[in-house]
Amino acid sequence: MDFNMKKLASDAGIFFTRAVQFTEEKFGQAEKTELDAHFENLLARADSTKNWTEKILRQTEVLLQPNPSARVEEFLYEKLDRKVPSRVTNGELLAQYMAEAASELGPTTPYGKTLLKVAEAEKQLGAAERDFIHTASISFLTPLRNFLEGDWKTISKERRLLQNRRLDLDACKARLKKAKAAEAKATLWNDEVDKAEQELRVAQTEFDRQAEVTRLLLEGISSTHVNHLRCLHEFVKSQTTYYAQCYRHMLDLQKQLGRFPGTFVGTTEPASPPLSSTSPTTAAATMPVVPSVASLAPPGEASLCLEEVAPPASGTRKARVLYDYEAADSSELALLADELITVYSLPGMDPDWLIGERGNKKGKVPVTYLELLS
């Protein structure tokens, strides 16, 4: 019992001494041991890493789950160490509504058939989104959380210890300074000086040891950056896969809708400028949107007869294919990514399309799948 009381009294005394030292430093009434410039840079780098990691983590969570209530629910399940229940994505919910609407309005009508096709595509989009969220959470969010809840807490704990050791050291320096000042006035304080010097040596040793431990942890931030860089690459890879899947699903849907009688695909305005004003940068940056086959010929005119088409004397250009393209019918030319073809435009053609030639093969090709070369 007496031992515990003495320990409590000792701890209270140490806490009080640190509080006094800290307060006097704030008011400029006590000297403070400064850390070297390299150490200060390590501290600033660690703080910056922690702050930006928190911001990136929070915003990525918003990107993956825009619903704040759902995020709170997932957070609670995670803290309770329980599995988050599966949640229907917005795409899957939309697919369900469209399918139910088609069933009630008539699945054999043009509108009902189209609703079913779009519902199927939306369901695929929802599944792709679910896979993306799952992959991104594991490969990107989890490592960021592990850093904040693991490594950073350890660093923060050691920094607090270093701060306490620094306050103890400066308090010992202040006591030694007072003892020497008193010794100059009376020789009776000689023992106090010896005691203060001994306490200072101990405090300096503990401070140096803690500073080295903290320095090693702070230098480990470089390894954290390497790990986060690898996770960032994984995040980009999963996001690329997700958008590629979405693009394929929607491209397939657009082709299917283009073959439906009475289905309207595309817009009345050109999706891209004619050949004469299309630059390689514009063509490469445009997301391919394939117009319907029926829109290739102007209304009221017959479709182009490829056998009768001859390249113009001037105006042909080389183009690099950006994406694989599967020809919808015999009037189109199938494309393989990265191959080079010759392209040209004909009067009256839809500006979204060109005539492409590869060897003895010829057919219509979508402009947005090409990078036009000078």
CATH no. for residue 341? 2.30.30.40
Among 258, 288, 306, identify where a domain stops. Answer: 258
251 and 338 within one domain: no
Nearest by Cα to 296 from 368, 371, 366, 372: 366
Q: What is the pLDDT of residue 297?
A: 45
187 CA to centre of own chain: 69
H helix intervals, the chain? 2-26, 37-64, 68-79, 90-105, 110-136, 142-146, 152-183, 190-219, 221-259, 280-285
pLDDT of the residue at 364: 92
| 51 φ/ψ sector (left φ>0, alpha ψ -120 to 50, else beta) | alpha
Tokens of 12: 């209270």
Instruction: Round to whole Å and give the CA distance between 58 and 54.
Output: 6
Q: What is the Cα–Cα distance from 374 to 371, expressed in whole angstroms? A: 10
- For residue 159 the two structure tokens come to 């920094």
Cβ-Cβ contacts under 8 Å for 371 (sequence gap 6 or more): 280, 283, 284, 319, 320, 321, 322
Using CA atoms, how far apart are residues 28 and 77, in angstroms rounded to an integer?
48
Domain residues for the domain of 59 are 14-258
- Among residues 213, 229, 258, the one where a domain terminates is 258
154-168 b/e with 16+ CB inside 10 Å = b?
A: ebeebbebbebbbbb
Q: pLDDT tens track of the chain, all 374 residues?
A: 555 555 555 566 676 677 776 777 666 766 778 889 999 999 999 999 999 999 999 999 999 888 787 777 776 767 667 776 777 888 899 999 999 999 999 999 889 999 999 999 999 999 999 899 999 999 999 999 999 999 999 999 999 999 999 998 888 888 888 887 776 666 555 677 888 889 899 999 999 999 999 999 999 999 999 999 999 999 999 999 999 999 999 998 988 887 765 444 444 344 444 444 444 444 433 334 434 333 444 443 445 566 666 677 667 899 999 888 888 888 899 999 899 999 998 888 888 889 999 988 999 999 888 998 87
Strands (E), the chain: 317-321, 340-344, 353-358, 361-366, 370-372
b/e sequence 96-107, b meaning 16+ C-beta within 10 Å: eebbebbeeeee
- Decide if 268 is inside a domain: no
- 102 and 29 in a single domain? The answer is yes
Residues 260-277 have pLDDT tens digits of: 654 444 443 444 444 444
In a domain, 92, yes or no: yes
- Cα dist. 47→75, 147, 154 in Å? 24, 13, 13
Q: Same domain, yes or no, for 232 and 334?
A: no
Are 200 and 165 within 8 A, CB to CB?
no
Distance between CA atoms of residues 229 and 134, nearest Å:
19
Name the domain count of the chain: 2
250 shares a domain with 326: no
Q: Tokens for 171?
A: 């308090």
The answer on 332 and 251 residing in a single domain is: no
Q: Are 20 and 108 in contact (CB under 8 A)?
A: no
CATH code assigned at 229: 1.20.1270.60
Asked, for residue 263, whether it belongs to a domain, the answer is no
Q: Tokens standing for 320?
A: 């690099």
How many whole angstroms separate alpha carbon 268 and alpha carbon 129? Answer: 31
Q: Which residues pair with 366 in a beta bridge?
A: 353
pLDDT value at residue 274:
42
Assess if residue 293 is contained within a domain. no
150 vs 162: CA distance, rounded Å: 19
How far is the CA of 238 from the CAs of 170, 175, 245, in angstroms?
52, 61, 11
369 is written with which tokens? 């799948």
248 and 166 in a single domain? The answer is yes
Residue where a domain stops, chosen among 258, 278, 294: 258
In a domain, 286, yes or no: no
Whether 192 is covered by a domain: the verdict is yes
Domain assignment present for residue 240? The answer is yes
Q: With contact defined as beta carbons under 8 Å apart, do 116 and 97 qualify?
A: no
Burial degree of 365 (CB within 10 A; 0-12, 13-18, 19+): buried
Q: Are residues 361 and 234 in the same domain?
A: no
Q: Are residues 217 and 116 in the same domain?
A: yes
- Is there a domain that residue 336 lies in? yes
pLDDT at 220: 94
Looking at the structure, do residues 69 and 210 belong to the same domain, yes or no?
yes
- Same domain? 198 vs 96: yes
Measuring CA to CA, which residue among 324, 325, 321, 364 is closest to residue 344? 364
User: What phi, psi does 355 have (nearest 5°)?
Assistant: -90, 125
Same domain, 223 and 137: yes
Angle at 76 between CA 140 and CA 227, to 5 degrees: 20
